[in-house]
């Protein structure tokens, strides 16, 4: 399966950021881009997802145990009058 290439503007739209912020991410935060010319830059969707995963602050924890409904609990006692 081929990885989709996003233009600079598609990345900016996806992240909802300005061009200035995009440039800052590229220069200071090492946002992985493919530079064709000075103004033609692309990014692989997989690289963007990998980058975002490294920047995620509250990563989802592994699911340890599912909650089981308490069979002894009587819902009728709550909802009945």
Q: What is the pLDDT of residues 25-76, one digit of tens each?
A: 999 998 999 988 888 899 999 999 999 888 877 766 666 556 565 555 665 6
Joined tokens for residue 22: 């995009």
> Per the confidence metrics, is the pTM higher than 0.75?
no
Please tell me the class of the 5-55 domain.
mainly alpha
Domain limits of the chain?
5-55
């Amino acid at each position: 399966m081929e990885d989709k290439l996003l233009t600079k503007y598609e990345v900016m739209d996806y992240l909802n950021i300005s061009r200035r912020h995009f440039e800052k991410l590229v220069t200071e935060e090492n946002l992985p881009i493919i530079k064709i010319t000075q103004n033609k830059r692309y990014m692989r969707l997989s690289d963007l997802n990998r980058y975002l995963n490294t920047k995620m602050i509250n990563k989802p924890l592994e699911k340890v145990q599912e909650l089981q409904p308490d069979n002894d609990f009587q819902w009728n006692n709550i909802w009945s009058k």
